[in-house]
Amino acid sequence: MTTLEQTSTVRTARRAAILNPGHGDIFTDHMFSMLWSPADGWHQPEFGPLQNLSMHPGMIGLHYGQVAFEGLKAHRRVDGSMVVFRPHEHARRFQTSTRRLAMPELPTDIFVNAVDQLIAADHELLSDDPAHSIYLRPIMFATDESLMLRPSENYRFLLMAFVAGGFFGDRVDSVSVLISRDYCRAIPGGTGGVKVAGNYAPSFVALQQAQAAGCQQVVWLDAVERRWVEEMGGMNLFFVRSTGTGTEVVTPELTGSLLPGVTRNALLSIAERAGYRAREERISVEQWREECAEGIITEVFACGTAAVVTPVSSVRDPAGGGDWTVGDGQPGPVTMTLRRALVDLHHGLVPDTDGWLHPVPTER
């Protein structure tokens, strides 16, 4: 095969992948980079092709996990324009996360301008398929070359992106979950309320355990009493309750060890507007099991930037009490109503009354 043929094979494979993306492998073409130092603050902004980094093997971020990141999405609306969902909220959470790790804050305007620049450059990689989006990944890490156990003095901010697939309309898969009894995700006073790299690697072994038990995801309980439901994998959870007086949509309250999801926050408002009573309230595993058996909890779903709204069909609890099904094990009507409302908003099919969609000027 000639080099030209090889290049064209790679291009064809990439195009096929872009039209049928998974989650996280099909990077877009560009990245933004900026440095921070005590003397210069934020400086040296650079926008260019996505490329490998060269780094010292003794970099603090690599060894001690002084690394924080974000995840947000850009969508194409039906009129062809591009919007980013609540980038200012993500910028604020990024500031909270980096502060927690003794790192500098990236000003919101730098964060949002970098997002605009990247989407303007790479939006052509996003097809018109409404199930697709561009997932943006801002990250900040410590760059000092030192193995001293101390905060770094120098940092780097990067923004990269990938083309994300997903589900749309009725093509929604439910997930089965394992209640994690051996591992906790977060502790009081820890880092569960922020988005830092160190929260994620320790969750992998619990995910492997869930998969070995025939489940797709892990449900995390609080670390103190080991009974209050916190999150599912890297997503927030919602419970739908049918009461004599209507439908309640309940999500565990923010205790400091749950991540305050931007999607969670949006769904609380969307649910109210759809006529449900939306509440933040703690809920135990026993309540979850009993209220499912009594037909009070009729639906459960997880939400997040990556997952959008994903129904939970069944629960396995190794602590005893057996497994149980949520409702009839199928995506329920409230879950699908909320999912549709969010997806329609992303794609400009309903008015953006809250100003959550940030338009990105692009040329097509």
Ligand X SMILES: Cc1ncc(COP(=O)(O)O)c(C=O)c1O
Strand residue runs (E) in 165-307: 175-179, 217-221, 229-232, 235-243, 246-251, 277-280, 297-304
Give 203-211's long-range contacts (Cβ < 8 A, gap of 24+): 203/233, 203/234, 206/180, 206/182, 207/233, 209/178, 209/180, 209/182, 209/183, 210/177, 210/178, 210/180
Return the range that interacts with ligand X (CB under 6 A); candidates 96-104, 154-162, 228-236, 243-251: 228-236
Tell me how far, at minimum, the Cβ of 186 lies from ligand X, in Å.
8
* Interface pattern 231-250 for ligand X (x via CB under 6 A): x--xxx--------------
Q: What is the distance between the alpha carbons of residues 134 and 117, in angstroms, rounded to a whole number? A: 13
Least Å distance, CB 200 to ligand X, is 7
219 lies in the binding site for ligand X (CB under 6 A): no
Q: Is 46 helix (H, G, I), strand (E, B) or coil?
A: strand
Nearer to ligand X, 97 or 362 (CB): 97
Verify binding: residue 263, ligand X, rule CB under 6 A.
yes
Q: Which residues pair with 159 in a beta bridge?
A: 32, 138
261 touches ligand X (CB under 6 A) = yes
Cα–Cα distance, 31 to 108 (Å, whole number): 18
d(CA 233, CA 216): 10
For residue 304, state whether it binds ligand X (rule: CB under 6 A).
Answer: yes
The site for ligand X, by CB under 6 A, has a size of 13
Taking alpha carbons only, the member of 128, 31, 121 closest to residue 76 is 128
CA distance 141 to 98: 9
Residue 71 interacts with ligand X (CB under 6 A)?
Answer: yes
User: 72 or 114: whose CB is closer to ligand X?
Assistant: 72
Identify which of residues 152 and 251 has a Cβ nearer to ligand X in the complex: 251
Which CB, 21 or 87, lies closer to ligand X?
Answer: 87
Q: Which of 174, 191, 305, 313 binds ligand X (CB under 6 A)?
A: 305
Among 60, 121, 207, 259, binds ligand X (CB under 6 A): 259
Interface with ligand X includes 95 (CB under 6 A)? no
How far does CA 315 lie from the centroid of its chain?
Answer: 22
Least distance to ligand X, CB of residue 263, Å: 3
Between 87 and 261, name the residue whose CB sits nearer to ligand X. 261
| Residue 270 and residue 249 in contact, taking contact as beta carbons nearer than 8 Å | no
Distance between CA 275 and CA 248 in Å, rounded? 9
Pairing, β 217-221 against β 229-232 = antiparallel
Is the Cβ of residue 282 or residue 330 nearer to ligand X in the bound state? 282
Q: Which stretch binds ligand X (CB under 6 A): 155-163, 259-267, 276-284, 330-338?
A: 259-267
The reply on whether position 262 binds ligand X by CB under 6 A is: yes
* Binding site residues, ligand X, CB under 6 A: 71, 195, 231, 234-236, 259, 261-264, 304-305
